[in-house]
Amino acid sequence: MDSLSVVILAAGKGKRMYSALPKVLHPIGGQPMLARVITTARQLHAAKIVVVYGHGGEAVRETIQEQDIEWALQAEQLGTGHALKMALPHLPKVGRTLVLYGDVPLTTIATLQQLLDAAEGGMSLLTDVLADASGYGRIVRDAAGQIIAIVEDKDCSAEQKALREINTGMLVLPNARLEGWLNALQNSNAQGEYYLTDVIALAVSDGVAVPGVTVAASWEAAGVNNKLQLAELERQLQLNQARALLGAGVTLADPARIDIRGELTHGQDVAIDVGCIFEGQVMLGDGVKVGAYCVLKNVKVAAGTQIAPYSHLEDAIVGEACRIGPYARLRPGARLAAHVHIGNFVEIKKSSIGEGSKVNHLTYIGDAEVGRKVNVGAGSVTCNYDGVNKFKTVIRDNVFVGSGTLMVAPVTLEQGATIGAGTVLTKTAPAEQLTIGRAKQLVVSGWQRPQKLK
Ligand code: UD1
Ligand code: CA
């Protein structure tokens, strides 16, 4: 088969987003809309991908750094036909071109493959049938049911307004004819624009048939012009992803209350409660349970681990059969071995915690190396930062850290050491000994409580 080029029209300003961010850079599922469309083009094995960007669209070029993209500037928005013309110098003279929109992010590969398969004669058009077609270009068919033209909403006669089959904007074109057709476009219409849609009538008069393919679901062709449409498509994408997870055996308390802004991979018997957000690359092993309202970003969680509600994990690795939370925070560089317990209001940063160790309550562990079977009592803190530099705390196997211990780094707690509660540890705690640094308890006899002043 001849080679496929994809042109993505993305020069629109997106005024109705009321945002400094160009419209096609607004994220859906954590990824700019345009990046999603580019991924789609790649999955279709396009030999060439050209993005038509607009005036002030430098931010778009800077954000989308992919090497395999060619950029065509459309300095003035003179219509979709004019936009495609700006891409012409990038396109080979043979093969076919598929036109996509940068603000239509959820079109499926299956549908686009169908569209390409239908373009045997070089051309095909993706349509939809809507209850309310207002605003869209209408598909005009002849008595035999063949597509003969598209009429834009603003140019429709009263009779044409009643047509419910609409142009999604996505179509396949034969490159050999493209230059001639695009040069023949006129802007004598209601909007004074060069309409790409006018190539349909040109093709038909040249004897090129335009078979139509209808989208499986309207969201596949839905575009984003404002924040409401962005939010609606976000929900649709999330629902699609939730359904895929359910289909693959993941238990979701509610498929309408999960957000995946990246990729979630999983083993068997994974269960996720409501309100969880997964960002970047998240891997959940067999039997992992994630409680309500957890946020996991770039984390790997091994089999059998349970994460209780309201926990926040980022750039962390969690071993097998751990118990995390509720209200736990694993910050970047937290590495937990198997059977570790991290409890409520505990923060772990850039630290490894050995097998079977427990840090259960109100504690900060940063820049530390914690051995196996260590118990860190409530309210203990590694004082890792002097305001300028960071220092390491080493806690070896079987250490018991009493509650309220301040470990002033750099400091080492040798194997089996016990630290008395309330200790401010500034020097090595020797192995198997009790180390305690605590002001002596004093009892003042005859003490009277203060009286209320008159
Ligand atoms: C277009 C179609 C219409 C179709 C509708 C589907 C034309 C003339 N009309 O209408 O039949 O039903 O899409 O949503 O094609 N763009 C540029 N440069 C321009 C103009 C547009 O790059 O000069 C890009 C926009 O960024 C957008 C896409 O083309 O991604 C469509 O533009 P838009 O103005 O939304 O098209 P409509 O007028 O809604
Ligand atoms: Ca327009």
Is the distance from CB of 314 to CB of 335 less than 8 angstroms? no
DSSP, residue by residue, 155-220: G--HHHHT--EEEEEEEEEEHHHHHHHHHH----STT----GGGHHHHHHHTT----EEE-SSGGG
Q: How far is the CA of 408 from the centre of ligand 2 (A)?
A: 64
Closest ligand to residue 54's CA:
1
pLDDT in tens, 8-22: 999 988 999 999 999
Which ligand number lies closest to the CA of residue 12? Answer: 1
Give the pair of three-digit tokens for residue 363: 């504690």
Task: Please report, for residues 48, 278, 338, 369, 372, the alpha-carbon distance to residue 414 in angstroms, rounded to integers and kept in the order given.
Answer: 61, 38, 22, 12, 12
Give me ligand 2 centre to Cα 299, in Å.
43
User: CA-CA distance, 106 to 120, in Å (whole number)?
Assistant: 25
Ligand 1 site residues, Cβ closer than 6 angstroms: 9-12, 52, 74, 77-80, 82-83, 101-103, 136-137, 150, 152, 166-169, 195-197, 223
H or E segment at 97? strand 96-101
Closest CA to 163 of 154, 175, 151: 151
Catalytic residue (one of 26, 55, 341, 361) = 361
Atom of ligand 1 nearest to the CA of 52: 22
Half-sphere exposure of 104 (CA within 13 A, CB side): 20
- Cis bond before residue 89 (omega within 30° of 0): no
71 contacts 50 by C-beta, under 8 angstroms: yes
Q: How far is the CA of 259 from the centre of ligand 2 (A)?
A: 32
Radius of gyration from C-alpha coordinates of the chain: 31
Low-confidence residues in the chain, pLDDT < 70: 1
Q: Which atom of ligand 1 is nearest to the CA of 12?
A: 26
The answer to whether the CB of 49 falls within 8 A of the CB of 91 is no
pLDDT at 55: 76
Mapped onto helix, strand or coil, the DSSP state of residue 122 is coil
**Ligand index nearest the alpha carbon of residue 229:** 1
Phi, psi of 361, deg, nearest 5: -145, 130
- The phi-psi region of residue 315 (left if phi > 0; otherwise alpha if psi is between -120 and 50; otherwise beta) is left
403 Cα–ligand 2 center, Å:
66
Give me the pLDDT at residue 349, please: 98
Joined tokens for residue 144: 């035999």
Which atom number of ligand 1 is nearest to the Cα of residue 104?
30
The answer to whether 361 is a known catalytic residue is yes
Cis peptide before 410 (omega within 30 of 0): yes
Specify the residue with its C-alpha closest to ligand 1, atom 39.
136
Ligand 1 geometric centre to CA of 12 (Å) = 8
Atom of ligand 1 nearest to the CA of 168: 6
Q: Which of 312, 284, 286, 282 is nearest to 299 (CA)?
A: 282
Counting atoms of ligand 1 from 1, which one is nearest the CA of 13? Answer: 26
Tell me, what amino acid is at 116?
L
To test the pocket of ligand 1, the residue of 36, 73, 80, 151 to mutate (highest count of ligand atoms within 8 Å of its CB) is: 80
The helix or strand, by DSSP H or E, that contains position 125, with its residue range, turns out to be: strand 124-129
Ligand with minimal distance to 137 CA = 1
Tell me, what DSSP letter sits at residue 137?
Answer: P
- SS3 assignment, position 78: coil
pLDDT at 141: 98
3-state secondary structure of 101: strand
What pTM does this model have?
0.95
Query: According to the model, what pLDDT value does residue 70 have?
Result: 98
